[in-house]
Chain A
Amino acid sequence: MSPVIDIRNLSARTAAGPILRDVSLPVNAGEVMALVGESGAGKSTIAKAVLGILPAGIKVTGGNIFFEGADLLALTPAGLRELLGVRIALIPQDPLTSLNPARRIGDQLTDGLRLRAGMNFRAAWDKALGLLNDVHIREPEQVLKRYPHELSGGMRQRVLIAQAFSLNPHVIIADEPTTALDVTVQKQVLRLIRDMQRERKTTLLFVTHDLGVVAQICDRMTVLYGGKVLEQGATAEILRNPRSPYTKALLAASPRYDQPEQSLKPVPEALIAELKREIGA
């Protein structure tokens, strides 16, 4: 089976230096792939490159991003626009800034359905109602008429999940979708994303720094440091038996209530120095 998203030898740089170094990342149909790393590791840059929304300061210097056989980097803006939202969608990190505060939920949720799927207002509104049901929002009729600030953080994130799935995309990129949520809400939202992803066989690229979240929702994972892939493979395998010393250090730095003495160990500075030397930073 060929991968749905196939990133090959992707390199990118800013004026300050390289930020992606020869990244190869095949994501198979229907799987959940985690992109793990600390800030500056390049995980968001990869997500933005796939979405074609790299900031002006970042230049791709080599490589390809194949989506169902076509190179996204070679597409014209018009060609990319055909895909985005329809075949490739995003669940953003911050549900408050990602929704327009001046428009009702229903109006925002029906945009894609009307403009991209060609539905009339009535049909789109009904479909949006069904989507809110799918993400387990109670009283969806009322919620469609509300403004974002009238919803809780968990509800807003559910609205964005509904929006991402609304046009049945083949690929969804989830950019730290649960970091802003309480743990109990996080668990519900993770379950929701997993259920919808399985039901619709959506391929998911899941950006996070939380190895606990990775363990519970991602089939495979890619560990990044300084824009370079350090380790890639099945989540269960890597978490049980990490080969890269950096992955080991990340595990030791993660909080664990069941092993309080063995957790929250800062990543040794010697290891960071060695990693920087290896990648040539």
Chain B
Amino acid sequence: MTLIEARNISLDVPDMSHQALIGQRRKLRILKNVSLSLKKGETVGLVGESGSGKTSLGRCLLRLHEPSEGTLAFDGQDITHASPAQLKPLRRRMQMIFQDPQSSLNPRHTIGSILATALKLNELDAGETSIAAILGRVGLPASASRRYPHQLSGGQRQRVGSALAVALKPEFVVADEIVSGLDVSTQAQVLDLLKGLRDEMGLALAFISHDLSVVRSLCERVVIMKNGEIVEEGLTADVFANPKTGFTRTLIASIPLPEVRPGWLDQ
């Protein structure tokens, strides 16, 4: 069953490099006619370079941005231009895990109070045992609830980011470059955790990444973006085995593998 469906979405933002003498700034189209749908339990990788529009698309899917054109439906309901009040009951069901947990967690609040706030706002149990259970699920000790974000390591903070997203038992999660700042061993742990959560909760997952290697092992489907457009999409295994565009081929060929390949750098 299709959980989230974006049809021919475009997104315009004001062009900050252009100053109009009067009236509005010129518009810059950063997403062009993008269509994407996700079924329950399905993982799609959104891949592209910086500036390709992958994060903007992720935010559109959550209706954090309002599409300028096209339609967006969540669980059969058209939310393209839904008001904040109309969106509120849906917000718990769609969550985002942010790239940089350091800047997305309030430095003045303990982990426990950050989690409790999210739970209370959604009228869920914010008791100590429930928070300990959530922390336990993401591999953190219960004592982590008394800590401040800066007292945790990068990997632990990313676990808190995941905890925040999944504590509300969402159906759809957008994970935006969640492992890009982490070293390989921590990255493997966080991805392992994410896979476990996805399978257990039947999440629809949009996994935004610039790292095709990670996408290869996590996502069934992949969407390759460039300049706000989808240039290629399909089953991840197919796209890797038989990339149709030169851009995808270049992306794949640019990933360094951990084995010595003389001449690779010069290709």
Contacts and interface: CB of A to CB of B under 8 A. Distances in A.
Interface of A: 38-40, 153, 179, 182-187, 190-191, 194, 209-217, 235-236, 239-240, 249-251, 253-258, 260-261, 263-267
Contacts of A38: 183-186
Contacts of A250: 184-185
Contacts of B265: 187, 190-191, 194, 216-217
A39 B153 contact: yes
B199 to A, nearest CB: 15
A130 B254 CA distance: 28
B92 interface: no
Contact of A215 (B183, B187, B210, B261): B261
Nearest to B247: A184
B185 A255 contact: no
Contacts of A260: 216-217
Interface stretch (B129-137, B163-171, B188-196): B188-196
Contacts of B210: 182-183
A255 B50 contact: no
Given A187-B265, A215-B259, A257-B240, A210 B154 contact: no
Given A186-B254, A210-B256, A266 B189 contact: yes
A216 B251 CA distance: 16
Contacts of B254: 183-184, 186-187
B69 interface: no
A212 B257 contact: yes
Interface of B: 49-50, 153-154, 181, 183-189, 191-192, 210-214, 216-218, 240, 250-252, 254-261, 264-266
Given A182-B49, A187-B254, A239 B259 contact: yes
Contacts of A266: 185, 188-189, 192
7 contacts: A183-B251, A183-B255, A191-B266, A209-B184, A213-B256, A257-B212, A257-B213
A182 B226 CA distance: 13
B183 A39 contact: yes
A266 to B, nearest CB: 4
Contacts, number: 116
Contacts of B266: 191
Given A153-B50, A183-B210, A254 B258 contact: yes
B260 A255 contact: no
A251 B258 CA distance: 7
A153 B218 CA distance: 27
B216 A210 contact: no
B254 to A, nearest CB: 4
Nearest to B180: A179
Given A187-B265, A266-B185, A266-B188, A256 B260 contact: no
A267 B188 contact: yes
A5 B187 CA distance: 32
Nearest to B47: A183
A194 B192 CA distance: 34
B71 to A, nearest CB: 31
A209 to B, nearest CB: 4
Contacts of B218: 264
B120 to A, nearest CB: 33
Contacts of A267: 185, 188-189
A216 B256 contact: yes
B208 to A, nearest CB: 13
A186 B154 CA distance: 23
Nearest to A190: B265
Contact of A210 (B50, B184, B259): B184
A21 B257 CA distance: 30
Contacts of A190: 256, 265
